[in-house]
């Protein structure tokens, strides 16, 4: 046996922890102590980051790099910024995220270079079983979201679990992206459709 992450719980050798299952997009128990602790740590981190409204982008970038999986050069994230865990988010070079963005990252979220994200955008990876019995048993899972390079997500857009958005795409303000978006496409509405 070996200790779980952050010294929580014990996991059999060769067996995945609930946090590892979550990151892999497999079914996991949302109330598992390691998963709950990861969310708690993210909450403490958000309190620090969101108090940095008057800080420079460079100062905020240092704090982003403490929690996020990867933060490229010249990334700008304007607080407030909300995450589930933070540790599954990759921001490539030159990404700009405006006020009030929420990224629920129970599995990987990657955002390509020079992508622009408007205020109030939601990027969601969590899923819940359709079976009510499984939902009552605290079973959850997620599907990764991938956003290409040089994408523009307008204010208030929502990206649902499992979506891939190709390079150079434009997502209109308030659009709800429920399926993959080809490179260079412009999508508007709810559900988002080609313009």
Catalytic amino acids?
A: 128
In order of 14, 56, 148, 182, the CA distances from 169 in angstroms are 41, 29, 8, 7
Contact present, 140 and 158 (Cβ < 8 Å): no
Secondary structure string (H, E, C) spanning the chain: CEECHHHCCEECCCCCCHHHHHHCCCCEECCCHHHHHHHHHHHHHHHHHHCCCCCCHHHHHHHHHHHCCEECCCCEECCCEEECCCCCEEECCCCEECCCEEEECCCCEEECCCCEECCCCEEECEECCCCHHHHHCCEEEECCEEECCCCEECCCCEECCCCEECCCCEECCCCEECCCECCCCEEECCCCEEC
């Amino acid at each position: 046996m070996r200790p779980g992450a952050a010294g929580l719980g014990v996991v059999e050798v060769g067996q995945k922890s609930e946090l590892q299952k979550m990151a892999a997009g497999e079914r996991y128990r949302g109330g598992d102590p390691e998963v709950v602790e990861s969310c708690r740590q993210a909450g403490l981190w958000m309190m620090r980051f969101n108090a940095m409204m008057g800080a420079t982008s460079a100062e905020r970038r240092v704090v982003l790099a403490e929690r996020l999986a990867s933060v490229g050069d010249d990334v700008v994230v304007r607080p407030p910024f909300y995450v589930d865990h933070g540790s599954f988010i990759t921001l490539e070079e030159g990404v700009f995220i405006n006020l009030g963005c929420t990224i629920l990252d129970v599995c990987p979220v990657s955002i390509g270079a020079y992508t622009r994200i408007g205020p109030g955008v939601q990027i969601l990876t969590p899923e819940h079983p359709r079976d009510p019995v499984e939902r009552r048993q605290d079973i959850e899972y997620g599907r990764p979201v991938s956003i290409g390079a040089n994408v523009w997500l307008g204010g208030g857009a929502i990206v649902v679990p499992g979506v891939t958005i190709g390079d150079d795409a434009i997502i209109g303000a308030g659009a709800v992206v429920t399926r993959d978006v080809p490179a260079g496409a412009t999508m508007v509405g709810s559900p988002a459709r080609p313009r």
